[in-house]
Structure 1
Amino acid sequence: MRSRLGWILLVLVNAALAAAAYVVTLPAPDHAIAIDTVLYSADDGSARQVSLPHRSGWGADGAATARYQAVFDLAAMPEARLFVFAGVVNHHPALILNGTPLTDGRRPIWSGPLTNAPVLHELPRTALVTGRNELTVATENAEMAISGLLSPLYIGEEADLLPAYKMRIFSQERLAPMAFGAHLLLSLGILVCYARRPRDPLFAWLAAMIVVSSAASVGLFAGLTPAFAGLRPYCLALLPSVGLLFIGIALAFVGASPPRWFRPLIVALAVTLMAGVAMDILPDPHTLAAFYLAAVVVSITVATIVIAWHAVRGANTEAYFLLSPFFLTAWFMVRDAGVSAGLFDGTVLLSPYMRPILLAAVLALLMHRLVATLDRLDDANETLNQRLAAREAELTALHHEERVKAAHAVRAQERERLTRDLHDGIGGHLVSIIAMAERPGSNTAPIEQAARQALDDLRLVIYSLDLGDRELPLALANFRERLIPQLRRAGVTLDWSMIGLPDVSGVTPGNALAILRILQEAVTNALRHGPATVIAIRGEVTDGKATIIVDNDGAAYAENPTGFGLINMRQRAAQLGGEIRIAPLASGTRVTVLLPIALPDVQTG
């Protein structure tokens, strides 16, 4: 029901606007002598009485020139100045009062076949006579595209005629440049949009229409001066193409694609007509003007039908919005064509005023599309922000879970490392202390030695916690300082040299302690299974790896598959990316520790 009411309202509004062009007229001057019957003379010298307004030219009788002789009587010479007023005169009139020329009829610069203008001219007292006065209005119809026009004449004082003159000046000479300026600004906006989005078919059609119609307007509105006279036929040859471009715009607005031959047809039509102008093979200007007007009217009518069809059948809101400006443009074009040909009464051509209105409607629709697009972008942005927030929350939860798992893994590795350290170091010393203390008659010296070893091992673990990157030499030096008293008490000589050891990076407390544990286990095995008297420890580079070699002169190496110490040594070296090589010597055993120059970050010791 609401849709039907909308259509009824639309039809009523458009019908009212279309009828207004025939009903609404500008008021005539009061207190003035009105002349609406004149003697009309054509080219052949024939004369007849005609009523004003009157048209002459191809739409009326084909006259190239027209002379209108008006007669008015003055009972006495008025004290105030008298003026003659014509609401609309086309084709550059010349005024003659009682045989005295008042104007020369020269064409102004900004005038053309579609321009109408009011005339207000003083009647000099020297040319007026008491009694019968003859006023002749002569117009030149040669080279004109439409028929000439003369509205009723009024003779009166300036105060009586000036209001009507000003009103027509505003509507015909002031409003037209304003409409042209609005059309220019709107066209510039569309051209800017096309420059930013050249692949958009709608902007392409609109830009083409603006360019071609602007070129055609040179022929319609530019003055018939020598500078433009040669260009006018070529410019007017573009008018049929302008009409076809309206069809392309209508199809683009409703989302339909024109046939493949449609674009070449527009170009071919313009080129063919301009070539015909150049070769002078086209019909006479009057017939050609009729063809141009008919082509434009038919094309924009077809465009209006396309818009109406999609508005009704396709429930297209944009087509519904454009239906009124397209319909009114087509209607006023038909009306202006009839007025120009003398078929309809009228003094003002309205279609030029519809162009900026049509472009304004187009821009309003484009702004509607822009706002709708921005709304969709805002909605998409809001949805994206919500999804992003959800993903961030999910990633935060996963990150927290991973951190918890990593913390548990670090604690588990630390427990494993401390378990091995306590087992290999302090645990073994405590077991020895307990065993020696339980022996009957045991002396305290071994117990003291075991307790001292346990204390040294505890210090080793604590000291490794303060080491930083590239401080492996410092850790080895501290290990040497603790090892010398231990070996001296056991009567073992230490030969120590780390000059050849390369700089090792990635040193952390965990892997530094692992290296010291490997060396400690190698020294312990030399003392326990040797027994060795000399232990040599040196650093060097082997195949690009940092190498620490521990030699002793004790018993030759014999691998014990159940020995927990050697297994720990190999595991620690593997965690550091290195390896342990144990080989017998001529007298003794060699333990070689191979480590990468850059140690991995491991948490095990």
Structure 2
Amino acid sequence: MKIFPLFTAPLFNHRRTVQQRFWLFFLLWISSGLIFSYAQAAEQFPSVDQGWFVFSSTDSPPPASATWTPVHLPDNWNVSHPNQGGTGWYRFHIQGTYHDSELWGIYLPRLSVNAQLFINGQLVGSGGRFIEPVAHNSYRPLFFGFPGQLLHSGDNVIDIRLLGYANEGSGLSPFKIGRADALETDYQHQFSLQVIAPTISFVLLILLSLMLFIIWLRRRQETIYLMFSLCGGFSTLYTAAFFIQEVPWLTHSQWLWLIFSSAMWYVYCVMLLIHRFVKVHRPTLEKALLAYTITGPLIIGILPSNYRLELFGLLGLGFAVLSLYVLIIIFHYRHHCSRKETWLLFCSILFSAIMGYHDLINLLITQREVPIYYFYWGSTIVGIAIAFLLLLRFDQSLHLFEALNRDLHHLVEQKSRALNQSYQERQTLETRQAVFRERERIMRDLHDGLGGYLVSALVQAEKQPLQTFPLQQTLRAALNDLRLMIDSLDGDPIDLASQLGSLRDRLETGMDASGAQLHWLVTDSPHLPNPNASNNLQLMRMIQEIFTNIAKHSRAHHVYFCVAPNILEIKDDGVGFAVDSPHLGRGLPNLRLRAHELGISLHIDSSPSGTAIHLTW
């Protein structure tokens, strides 16, 4: 008989191999959880466990004359100081010889609720706030590094100020002191287990819950997806207690009530989820358990907070019975699911139940050790398992629909692409034709009107070159400006390369006339933020203005024109100018104004060895 048939499934069946991989991942997750939950880092330093204790509300270490009593760690206040809470002080004396140049550290693997560390009366570290809302460090290790000069040869006093609450298992476990670099290895191991692992579980469950909640929004009739979203929400709220230190607006008592209530609600939602998964309809039982889940935490919230954990432990006995009921339901109605689904649900919920029983024992039975909780491991395993099964069912329900829709979708895409391409081609053609017609009209107007007059005036002026040289320059500049306007009407406003190419000839002519050599370095066509004919014209005018100033004032021998997709740079080796001079005229302000209107950045560097102008966007 094959107990787990999926391990013997054909290797070339894609759906089966995916399930095989998930089983392997699932078993490895459980194994790692069990191993990591009880693993301890290798001890490199002896633990400190003998000291003195006193209750004191002072902010600094109490004097030696206080009523100190001997203490042996681990110290659980439920055992050593029942029904007492507040601020307690632990004092330890250590002997030794220390080097001032070394960085030392103290590693507190387990405590409750918050701690501060003093070395020879000096504060070296704190876990956070000691007043409401207090910092919660009950489920995380603390590490305090300090310089070696705080320790001196002979007797050293270590004081640990601990904030604890009555009947909540507050206290301190043995700690270590040693070189910080070596001791931090133990701390990082425990931090990964107690903080990073819950954080990963939190994120994972949030993502799974959101994913299935979105599926439920699209398939409202299948409430099983909503049940999982609720399970994930309550589970993440409970898991948050393991990595969130400070909760604004909530006191310690309120936060404790919230996280333990969420654990109860999680178990109730798991029961609802399993009912719907195996198709069991028991509304009377669900309503009775709903009343139990609502009234229990509410009554505990009204009662004094000194006995809150014990009351939650007693309330948790009912949910422990509920977890057994869920396991029985899965086994009894196993024929409603496939064998793989039955085993996956049963094993994951059994693991979660075992972790819950462990935490329930810590709530109900007082021990010397400061309690540590593992239920978040179980809730994460159950969340992953159920989410996998729900997503697999959702995938199966959509598989046939996707197969039938695939060909139609492919055909629609083909037709859409063809229509879109035809539309784009038509729009491009119409645009090019319109630009071409407008350009031809302007060319005719220029030829017959303004252009003809300018050319005629230039010919007449050239007959007397010496007397009309300034007039010739003005006429040539006017003609160049007209050509620039015509070039800006090119059909593709995004492609500036052709317009720059047209401009290059005129720029080289101007540079040759001024005795400078133009070096043209265009690696790619630039792309303005908002490309259109007007903006292209503005950019061409800026370039033309810059080269006009170079020809007039720089006395340069070499001019470099560099263009990339998002930058345009013009350099010369001329005499430079004072950028901040008030006598520069309107050229530079006009350049800045055009740059601002185009949404580009203008930066000018000038010195006696040359000028560099950068346009970036």
Q: TM-score range, shorter-chain basis?
A: 0.5 to 0.7
Q: Secondary structure at the match of 2:109?
A: strand
- For the 8 Å contact 2:116–2:127, the answer to whether it is kept is yes
Partner of 1:85: 107
Q: Is residue 382 of structure 2 the alignment partner of residue 369 of structure 1? A: no
- Partner of 1:156, secondary structure, is strand
Question: How far apart in 1 are the matches of 2:374 and 2:301?
Answer: 31
Aligned to 1:135, which of 158, 162, 179?
158
Q: How does 1:147-186 map to 2 (within 5 A)?
A: 147-186=169-208
Q: Aligned pair in 2 of structure 1 residues 13, 350: CA closer, same or farther (>3 Å)?
A: same
Q: Give 1:213 deviation, angstroms.
A: 4.8
Over 3 Å counting, the alpha-carbon distance change for 1:296 and 1:130 in structure 2 is farther
Residue deviations 1:386-408, cap 9 Å, x none? xxxxxxxxxxxxxxxxxxxxxxx
Gaps of 5+ in 2: 8-22, 57-65, 407-617
Alignment of 1:189 with 2:211, yes or no, is yes
Change (3 A) 1:216 1:119: closer
Corresponding residue number in structure 2 for 1:551 = none
Secondary structure, counterpart of 1:93 in structure 2: strand
Of residues 41-50 and 164-173 in structure 1, the stretch that sits farther from structure 2 once superposed is 41-50
Contact map agreement 1:338 1:344 (CA 8 A) in 2:
no
Alignment partner of 1:335: what SS?
helix
Percent identity over paired residues: 14
Alpha-carbon displacement from aligned partner over 1:241-288 (angstroms, at most 9, x marks no partner): 33222212222222212x222333344334434653675589832332
Partner secondary structure for residue 110 of structure 2: strand
Amino acid at match of 1:254: V
Opposite residue 299 of structure 1, the aligned amino acid is L
The aligned residue for residue 119 of structure 2 is: 97
Other-structure match for 1:351: 375
Query: What residue ranges of structure 1 are gaps of 5+ in the alignment?
Result: 383-605
Structure 1 residues 61 and 268, CA gap change in structure 2 (3 angstroms): same
Counterpart position of 1:322: 345
With the length of structure 2 as denominator, give the TM-score of the two structures: 0.51
Q: 2 CA distance for matches of 1:292 and 1:381? A: 52
CA distance 1:221–1:273, shift in 2 (3 Å): farther
What SS class does the counterpart of residue 344 from structure 2 fall into? helix
Match of 2:85 in 1: 64
Alpha-carbon distance change, 288 to 113 in structure 1, aligned in 2, over 3 angstroms = farther
Cα shift at 1:157? 1.5
One-letter amino acid of the structure 2 residue matched with residue 87 of structure 1:
P
Rate the CA distance shift 1:205–1:45 in 2: closer, same or farther, 3 A.
farther
Kindly provide the amino acid, as one letter, of the partner of residue 186 in structure 1. L
- RMSD between superposed Cα atoms in Å: 4.3
TM-score (normalizing by structure 1): 0.52
The change in CA–CA distance for 1:34 and 1:67 in structure 2 (over 3 A counts) is same
C-alpha separation in 1, matches of 2:405 and 2:262 = 47
- Alignment partners' CA distance in 1, 2:37 and 2:298: 39
Shifted more, 265-274 versus 167-176: the winner is 265-274
Aligned to 1:289, what secondary structure does the other structure show? helix
Q: Find the counterpart in structure 1 of residue 425 from structure 2.
A: none
Select the residue among 18, 35, 42 that pairs with 2:48. 35
CA contact 1:71–1:133 (8 Å) conserved in 2: yes
Q: Alpha-carbon deviation of 1:318?
A: 1.6
- CA 22–188 in structure 1, closer or farther in 2 if over 3 Å, else same: closer
Task: Decide which moves more: 236-245 or 311-320.
Answer: 311-320
Q: Does 1:55 align with 2:76?
A: yes
1:495-574 → structure 2 map (5 Å cutoff): none
Q: Distance in 2 between matches of 1:277 and 1:158?
A: 43
Write the letter of the residue equivalent to 2:375: S
Distance 1:106 1:356 in 2: 28
Give the conservation status (yes or no) of the 8 Å contact 2:169–2:370: no
1:115-156 Cα shifts (integer Å, max 9, x gaps): 522222134556433212221223222278x42353432221
Give the counterpart of 1:289 among 308, 312, 318: 312
The structure with the larger Rg is 1
Change (3 A) 1:77 1:19: closer
Rounded Cα–Cα distance in structure 1 between residues aligned with 2:241 and 2:296 = 14
Alpha-carbon distance, 1:342 to partner? 4.9
Q: Which residue of 2 aligns with 1:272?
A: 295
Report if the CA contact (8 A) 2:278-2:336 is conserved.
no
**Per-residue deviation at 1:158?**
2.0
Contact 2:51 2:92 in 1 (8 A): yes
Q: What is the Cα deviation at residue 179 of structure 1?
A: 1.8
Contact 1:172 1:348 in 2 (8 A): no
- Rate the CA distance shift 1:316–1:41 in 2: closer, same or farther, 3 A: farther
* Equivalent residue number for residue 248 of structure 1: 272
- Corresponding residue of 2:41: 26
